[in-house]
Amino acid sequence: EKGNYRHFMAKEIHEQPEVISHTLASLVDMTSETVRLPSLPFDWKNLSRLTISACGTASFAGQVAKYWFERYARLPVEVDIASEFRYREAPLEKGGLSLFVSQSGETADTMAALRYCQENGQHTLAVVNVPTSTMSREADAMVRTLAGPEIGVASTKAFTCQLAVLACLAIGAGKARGTLTPEAEKELVRALIEAPRLMAEALRLDHEIEACARDLSKAKDVLYLGRGTSFPLALEGALKLKEISYIHAEGYAAGELKHGPIALIDESMPVVVIAPFDAIFEKTVSNMQEVAARGGRIILITDEEGAKAAALPGAKTIVMPAMPSVVSPLVYSVPIQLLAYHTAVLIGADVDQPRNLAKSVTVE
Ligand code: F6R
C-alpha cells in the first residue's frame, strides 16, 4: 500500500535508504568493512572482458558500473542495450562473463541477450529484483537486489539497488584481481555504507527540488548534463522526466555539448547539470558556463564546495551533502527522481501509470 504517500513512486523514492541498507547488508561485512560476494561459478582473475546488457533504466545502471569495473578491477567493459546486443552478432571469447541487469527478470530483449551469451560459451550472471523470474532461473548465477516489490512504472529504488549491487561486484572483482588493496577496499566499502544516511539527507531537500520542478514543468525540452558516472545519471534523469511528465528531455555527456546540442540552448530551455565536486568537476563547470553564456537556465545539482566553486549567479542550485565519489551515483539519483516526480505531479500526469508504458516489457 501507499501509506502516507500520494503515489507509489514517492513511497518508493523514500524507501531507498532502507532498501539500500538491506541490499548492502547482503553483500558487505559491516564490521570488517569488506565485500562478501556469494560464490560465483567463474574466477574474476581469468576474465579479459565483461559484457553488460540491459534495457532502459537498468542499462544506465550498467553504464555506471562500466566506470566502476574499469576503475577498480581494471576489467574492460562493454555495455549495450539488450535490443541491439542480441542482434548484432557480437563475437564473444569463450569463458567470458556476461552480466544482465533487470528489475523484473522478464524483459524479452534482456532474456534473448542472455540466451545468446549462453549459446556463445559465456558465464552468465544476472542482477535481478524478482527472484522467481525467468532470468533468475536461467542465468548461471544471480545476485539479488533487495528493493522489494516496485509498483510505480518508473523505476526508482530498483535502480539504486542495482547500483549498490554493481558497486559491490566491481569492488569484489578488484579484490579478486588484485587491483584493489585491502585499504582501498575498506575505504570504498566504508563509503558505500554511508549511502543510506546520505540518501536520507538528500530526501530532506524535497522542497528545494520541488521549487526547481516548477521551472521544468513549464518547459518543452530539458537537457541533462553530466560527466563520468554522472553521465549515465543524466541519461536516467532525462528518461525519468520523459516517461512520467511527457516533457521532452535528453541526457548528454557534458563534453559533447559543443559537438551539437549547444545549438538548442536558449532562455526557454532548462539545463540540469549533475556535478558533484570531484576530479572532473572543473570540466563540467566550464561546459555549464557555455550554457549560461547563451542564456540557458541552469539547475545545478552539486555539493557546497561545488556551489562555491561554480559561483554562477543565475543558476538554481540543489546543494547536496559532500560524499566520496563511489556513492555519488546512488545519492544523486534521489534529486534526479524527485525532480521528475514533482514535475509530473505539477503537470497533473498519472505518475504511477504513465500512458503507453508497462511495468514489464515481455515482448520485444
Ligand atoms: C524506466 C523503466 C524501464 C525499465 C526497462 C527494463 O523507469 O522502468 O526503462 O528499466 O524496461 O526493465 P527491467 O529492469 O525489468 O528489465
Question: CA 253, CA 217: separation in Å to the nearest integer?
Answer: 23
Q: Is 133 in the pocket of ligand 1 (CB under 6 A)?
A: no
CA–centroid distance, 43 to ligand 1, in Å, is 29
Q: For residue 166, how far is the Cα from the chain centroid? A: 10
pLDDT of residue 362: 83
pLDDT of residue 246: 95
* 355 has a pLDDT exceeding 90: no
CA torsion angle for 88, 122, 23, 55 (degrees, to 10)? 10
Q: Is 333 in the pocket of ligand 1 (CB under 6 A)?
A: no
| pTM, full prediction | 0.97
Confidence of residue 35 (pLDDT cuts 50, 70, 90): very high
User: When comparing pLDDT for 362 and 76, which is higher?
Assistant: 76
Mean pLDDT of all residues belonging to the chain: 96
Confidence of residue 111 (pLDDT cuts 50, 70, 90): very high
CA–centroid distance, 23 to ligand 1, in Å, is 19
**Chain position carrying cell 566491481:** 170
For residue 293, the tally of other CB atoms under 10 A from its CB is 10
CA–centroid distance, 8 to ligand 1, in Å, is 16
Q: Is 53 in the pocket of ligand 1 (CB under 6 A)?
A: no
Backbone angles phi, psi at 273, to 5 degrees: -110, 120
* 361 has a pLDDT exceeding 90: no
Q: Is 59 in the pocket of ligand 1 (CB under 6 A)?
A: no
pLDDT of residue 357: 84
* E strand map for the chain: 28-29, 34-35, 50-54, 77-81, 97-102, 123-128, 141-144, 221-226, 248-253, 270-274, 297-303, 316-320
- Lowest-confidence segment of 99-108, 115-124, 292-301 by average pLDDT: 292-301
pLDDT of residue 363: 82
Please state, in angstroms and as integers, the Cα–Cα distance from residue 79 to each residue in 76, 88, 99, 204, 296, following that order.
10, 13, 9, 34, 32
Q: Is 107 in the pocket of ligand 1 (CB under 6 A)?
A: yes
Q: Is 337 in the pocket of ligand 1 (CB under 6 A)?
A: no
Contact between 290 and 261 (Cβ < 8 Å): no
DSSP 82: H
- Which numbered atom of ligand 1 lies nearest the CA of 154? 7
Q: Which residues are catalytic?
A: 359
CA–centroid distance, 2 to ligand 1, in Å, is 21
List Cβ neighbours of 328 (8 Å cut-off, separation of 6 or more): 229, 230, 276, 278
Confidence of residue 349 (pLDDT cuts 50, 70, 90): very high
pLDDT of residue 319: 97
pLDDT digits (tens, 9 = 90+) for 206-237: 999 999 999 999 999 999 999 999 999 999 99
CA–centroid distance, 100 to ligand 1, in Å, is 12
Q: What is the mean pLDDT of residues 311-339?
A: 95
DSSP 181-241: -HHHHHHHHHHHHTHHHHHHHHHTTHHHHHHHHHHHHT-SEEEEEE-TTHHHHHHHHHHHH
- Which numbered atom of ligand 1 lies nearest the CA of 156? 7
For residue 280, the tally of other CB atoms under 10 A from its CB is 17
- Which numbered atom of ligand 1 lies nearest the CA of 110? 16
The residue contributing the CA closest to ligand 1 atom 10 is 57
Q: Is 134 in the pocket of ligand 1 (CB under 6 A)?
A: no
Confidence of residue 353 (pLDDT cuts 50, 70, 90): confident
Q: Is 103 in the pocket of ligand 1 (CB under 6 A)?
A: yes
Q: What is the mean pLDDT of residues 312-317?
A: 88
Question: CA 112, CA 191: separation in Å to the nearest integer?
Answer: 36
Q: Please give the ipTM for the structure prediction.
A: 0.99
Strand partners, 297: 270
- Which numbered atom of ligand 1 lies nearest the CA of 162? 14
Q: Is 37 in the pocket of ligand 1 (CB under 6 A)?
A: no
Q: What is the mean pLDDT of residues 192-218?
A: 97
CA–centroid distance, 98 to ligand 1, in Å, is 19
* 28 has a pLDDT exceeding 90: yes
- Which numbered atom of ligand 1 lies nearest the CA of 56? 9
Burial bucket for residue 94 (CB in 10 Å: 0-12, 13-18, 19+): exposed
CA–centroid distance, 352 to ligand 1, in Å, is 14
Using alpha carbons only, give the angle 316, 317, 320 rounded to the nearest 5 degrees.
Answer: 160
**Chain position carrying cell 545476485:** 143
Which sign does the torsion angle of CA 265, 266, 267, 268 carry? negative
Give the mutation target among 104, 155, 163 for probing the ligand 1 site: most ligand atoms within 8 A of CB: 155
pLDDT of residue 269: 92
Confidence of residue 364 (pLDDT cuts 50, 70, 90): confident
* 356 has a pLDDT exceeding 90: no
Contact between 262 and 290 (Cβ < 8 Å): yes
pLDDT digits (tens, 9 = 90+) for 140-154: 999 999 999 999 999
Q: Extract the C-alpha cell encoding 303.
A: 555539493
Q: Is 55 in the pocket of ligand 1 (CB under 6 A)?
A: yes
